[in-house]
Amino acid sequence: MRLANLPTPSLVLDRQRLDGNLRRMQARADALGVRLRPHLKTAKSADAAARAADLGARGITVSTLKEARYFLESGVTDILYGVGIVPARLDAAAALRADGANLAIVTDNLDVARAIAAHDGEFSVLVEIDTGARRAGIAPDDPVLVDIARAVQAAPRAQLAGVMTHAGHAAGPDGVRAIAAAERDGVVAAAGALRDAGFGCPMVSVGSTPTAMAVDHLAGVTEMRPGVYMFGDLDQQAIGSCGRDDIALSVLAAVIGHNRAAGTLLIDAGGLALSKDRSATEFRPEVGYGEVCDAETLEPLVGIYVADCHQEHGIVPVPDPRVYGRLPIGAKVRVLPNHACMTAAAWDSYAVVEGEAVVGRWPRVNGW
């Protein structure tokens, strides 16, 4: 099968670019002296996880317990469930451990810690620290940190594994270095507070692709959990975490209309195929919902972006009417995604390519 024979729209994953991204982040983790525990919320693929492990990654991070079950069934046992646990999910988490997963769960809440302690399952617990993202987590110096640790350690079958944070607010290229330092310093300070109070803290976990690429050192940290680095996207390019030629994910689409009166062309990748995420436009307003590229070479068709999306129509302003001749009805293009995690989520599987050869079909685990 060739790229040209795929139906449109199709989600395409470039295996060589993926491999380059996996190797680069592994080298980064090795140089920083930390374990790489990739977040599989982006790829949601056992094949991608296996390739990362082949290249040195140890364990994974997931965003749902459905992912945890899927990856456990694929043979991955060391799993960090990165979203704050709630009591209603403790039975499912305990079942994963009973079935062989070395599952770590996360909380930032004393009531939840007490519920963990009161449950009869075995649990390994990380306390979530807010190092600036203001999403989840407690401040590194919040005294409840020690209260949570005490509640967990008092339970006969739960153990305190350490602390984790996610600096998901990583901003434009100028701000990332400072955010990365704050992410590290905050979680290391929290680990110190736990140790000062007499607790062990074997895991000190940070994680985001921008901070992983920007941080100057990770002294005191034991692991990193980046995710979107596997694929890259226009948002990561805008932040400076990857180059344009590192972006491994794209959507193959066909030109389905010429609206010369409006100065646009239409492609059959719209809001469902690309997602409505516009993260990258914070830094590069012109990229809209994705950059339109040559289908074979992935070279940009200069100045051509998906400016608007309807459900199954992508609307592409045409800067020069000669584009209509170059891209007649039926012509194929590939669209580099604004935010790979969201674009991939609409798809059940990847068409894996090497150049123009389709070399595999990798399934994804979606939903909840």
By the criterion CB under 8 A, which residues form the site for its own copies? 7-10, 41, 63-64, 83-84, 86-88, 108-109, 111-112, 130, 134-139, 168, 254-259, 261-262, 264, 266, 268, 271-273, 275-278, 310-313, 315, 328-330, 341-342, 345-348, 366-368
The answer to whether the CB of 8 falls within 8 A of the CB of 193 is no
> What is the token pair recorded at 204?
């000190």
The answer to whether the CB of 3 falls within 8 A of the CB of 254 is no
Q: Specify the 3-state DSSP secondary structure of 120.
A: coil
The answer to whether the CB of 125 falls within 8 A of the CB of 113 is yes
**What torsion do the CA atoms of 148, 183, 23, 171 make, to the nearest 10 degrees?**
130
Nearer to its own copies, 138 or 188 (CB): 138
User: What is the closest distance, in whole angstroms, from the C-beta atom of residue 54 to its own copies in the complex?
Assistant: 26
User: What is the closest distance, in whole angstroms, from the C-beta atom of residue 93 to its own copies in the complex?
Assistant: 13
Cα–Cα distance, 134 to 182 (Å, whole number): 13
The answer to whether the CB of 317 falls within 8 A of the CB of 263 is yes
Cα–Cα distance, 19 to 50 (Å, whole number): 12
User: What is the closest distance, in whole angstroms, from the C-beta atom of residue 348 to its own copies in the complex?
Assistant: 6
Q: Specify the 3-state DSSP secondary structure of 319.
A: coil
User: What is the closest distance, in whole angstroms, from the C-beta atom of residue 343 to its own copies in the complex?
Assistant: 10
User: What is the closest distance, in whole angstroms, from the C-beta atom of residue 278 to its own copies in the complex?
Assistant: 7
User: What is the closest distance, in whole angstroms, from the C-beta atom of residue 85 to its own copies in the complex?
Assistant: 8
The 8-class DSSP code of residue 346 comes to T
Cα–Cα distance, 148 to 134 (Å, whole number): 19
Q: Find all residues with CB under 8 Å of 227, minimum gap 6, and list them.
A: 38, 39, 40, 41, 42, 43, 61, 207, 209, 341
User: What is the closest distance, in whole angstroms, from the C-beta atom of residue 204 to its own copies in the complex?
Assistant: 21
Nearer to its own copies, 46 or 254 (CB): 254
User: What is the closest distance, in whole angstroms, from the C-beta atom of residue 55 to its own copies in the complex?
Assistant: 24
Nearer to its own copies, 156 or 330 (CB): 330
Nearer to its own copies, 58 or 135 (CB): 135
**What torsion do the CA atoms of 238, 239, 242, 245 make, to the nearest 10 degrees?**
0
> What is the token pair recorded at 219?
């002294």
Nearer to its own copies, 87 or 198 (CB): 87
Cα–Cα distance, 129 to 196 (Å, whole number): 17
Nearer to its own copies, 34 or 38 (CB): 38
Nearer to its own copies, 15 or 41 (CB): 41
Nearer to its own copies, 99 or 141 (CB): 141
> What is the token pair recorded at 335?
């669209």
